[in-house]
Amino acid sequence: MGFLDTLLGKSKLPKSKTEKLFAMSTAYVTINTSLDMKQDGAGICFKPLDASRFRSAELEISLLLKESCKETNTLFKMQKDSYGYLWVILHDNDFEDLVTTLYLVSETLKEHNFGEQLLCAVFKFRGESTVYWIYNFKQASYYPFVPKGKERAASYEFRMRSILDRELPIEKDVLRWYPLWDIPV
């Protein structure tokens, strides 16, 4: 971004970083064995655009999902949330298939030059509480989100961070641990 762009108030969205998405694959072993939590699906959220190029990318993602999910027995659906963001929601008994499919969707968007539209990937786990591990594509980091009614279970979130700090690139700035209410996963 140049000086003139800054002066005129123009800014570019940060590029999405997908490479650390696979860190969840190794962390899953700890989540499953040490915390006795089971995975309960995953999803990827992105901001749709009203452009023919974007609709073309969306169609390609849908076709890729139909083919790849047929091979892996992954269930998927695409839906918009109350804010107008588009979600690809996945369910599969094989956790590796979930991670790989989320990566496939994110890379397809990046190949079509829509990587800036990627917001987050979400992994849902159930145990003594429901825990969402959210991957922020812009920061290339994870953070836990534990909803407790209309509030957050902050102490449980910090406990999750301390347990998985060595296995996941966790967002250091807790002010960037944005709550995602009504996650459709």
Residue 70: predicted pLDDT: 87
Put residue 63 in one of left, alpha, beta given phi > 0 → left and psi -120 to 50 → alpha. Answer: alpha
Residue 12: predicted pLDDT: 53
Residue 14: predicted pLDDT: 55
Residues 6+ apart with CB under 8 A from 65: 76, 78, 88, 101, 105
- Whole-model pTM: value is 0.88
Residue 28: predicted pLDDT: 96
For residues 12-49, one letter each, b for 16 or more C-beta atoms within 10 angstroms of the residue's C-beta and e for the rest, the string is eeeebbbeebebbeebbeebeeebebebebbbbbbebe
Q: Where are the beta strands (DSSP E) in the chain?
A: 38-46, 75-80, 86-91, 118-126, 130-136, 141-145, 147-148, 151-152
- What are 146's two structure tokens? 């534990």
The domain segmentation of the chain, as residue ranges, is 19-176
Residue 4: predicted pLDDT: 43
Residue 184: predicted pLDDT: 94
Residue 3: predicted pLDDT: 44
List the pLDDT tens digit at each of the 185 positions of the chain.
444 454 445 555 456 677 799 999 999 999 999 899 999 999 999 988 887 888 888 888 888 899 888 888 999 999 999 998 999 999 999 999 999 999 999 998 888 888 889 999 999 999 989 999 999 999 999 999 999 999 999 999 999 999 999 999 999 999 999 999 989 99
19-176 — its CATH code?
3.30.70.600
Residue 6: predicted pLDDT: 47
